[in-house]
Chain A
Amino acid sequence: MQLEYFQLIDRIVDLNLGDKTITVEAQVPQTHTIFEGHFPGFPIMPGVLLTEAMAQSSGWLLLGVMKFERMPFLAMVKEAKMRGFVSPGQLLTIEAKIEHEGSGFAVTSAKARVGTELKCSAELTFRHIPFPDPKLRVYMDAMANKIGFPLQAIAQ
């Protein structure tokens, strides 16, 4: 995770465009200023960042399904449940699945675990639009490369 840049996903472990599922990993940093305030003596990942991590996981899945032709933007968060504390240094494994592909929007479900323990889950709705700026597309390509997005999967 590079929290300063809001980059929460470290690597894509599995992308299945047939089943419309993705599994990613996100390494929570051992130290960060966020943990100094949240909370002193009891550092835990804020729920909003866990929700964002589930959203970014879903976003990569949607990018793959849409072959990087459109960019998803988070529009709605439902049933966000923080089921357990996530501490500095823990490795999150996040799974997301597309529940519905609408016209200009998509709905996903996502779950994050530490080991086998379910830590949070949510249902997320995204609007998607053609890339609004070429710079964003270049940036997403670079990020895809960085986190090991299997570009061959969308070439099929």
Chain B
Amino acid sequence: MSSTFDTVANIIAETCDIEREKITPDSHAIDDLGIDSLDFLDIAFAIDKAFGIKMPLEKWTQEVNDGKATTEQYFVLKNLADRIDELVAAKNASAGTAS
């Protein structure tokens, strides 16, 4: 079973035509990989679908704009993978509560 990071890296490689080898856990999606906001929409769509979640991009962007978070917390890929794992866990917990 592939890791969250591997799934995200594969999505980025396919969506943005970036060589998979250049995408590492420490890559910053914007600063290192040069992913722009439009490509990130495509990536967000693919990640949402792959993990069955809704990444709160607007909330994250607001936190960065307000100085409450850094872009590294959300856009360095190992951190993004952690955020995705948290969202998946929250979703599973809520599904367990509902059933």
A residues in contact (CB < 8 Å) with B: 75-76, 100-105, 107, 125, 127
Size bracket of the B interface: 10 to 19
Contact between B58 and A104, CB atoms less than 8 A apart: yes
In the bound complex, CA of A103 to CA of B49 (Å): 13
Q: Using Cβ atoms and an 8 Å threshold, which residues of chain A touch B45?
A: 100, 102, 105, 107, 125
B20 an interface residue at 8 Å Cβ cutoff? no
**CB-nearest residue of chain B to A107:** B45
In the bound complex, CA of A127 to CA of B57 (Å): 12
Contact between A76 and B48, CB atoms less than 8 A apart: no
Q: Using Cβ atoms and an 8 Å threshold, which residues of chain A touch B49?
A: 100
Contact between B55 and A102, CB atoms less than 8 A apart: yes
| Those of B44-99 within 8 Å (CB) of chain A | 44-45, 48-49, 54-59, 61
Q: Using Cβ atoms and an 8 Å threshold, which residues of chain A touch B41?
A: 75-76, 102, 105, 125, 127
Contact between A101 and B57, CB atoms less than 8 A apart: no
Which one, A76, A101, A103, A104, contacts B42 given CB within 8 A?
Answer: A76
Contact between B38 and A103, CB atoms less than 8 A apart: no
Interface Cβ pair total, 8 Å cutoff: 35
Q: Using Cβ atoms and an 8 Å threshold, which residues of chain A touch B59?
A: 103
In the bound complex, CA of A127 to CA of B42 (Å): 11
Q: Using Cβ atoms and an 8 Å threshold, which residues of chain A touch B61?
A: 104
**How far does the Cβ of B95 sit from chain A's closest Cβ, in whole Å?**
18
Q: Using Cβ atoms and an 8 Å threshold, which residues of chain A touch B57?
A: 102-105
In the bound complex, CA of A60 to CA of B12 (Å): 31
In the bound complex, CA of A125 to CA of B15 (Å): 14
**How far does the Cβ of A48 sit from chain B's closest Cβ, in whole Å?**
19
In the bound complex, CA of A100 to CA of B45 (Å): 8
Contact between A105 and B44, CB atoms less than 8 A apart: yes
Interface pairs A-B: 3 shortest CB-CB: A103-B57, A104-B58, A103-B58
**CB-nearest residue of chain A to B55:** A103
Contact between B38 and A102, CB atoms less than 8 A apart: no
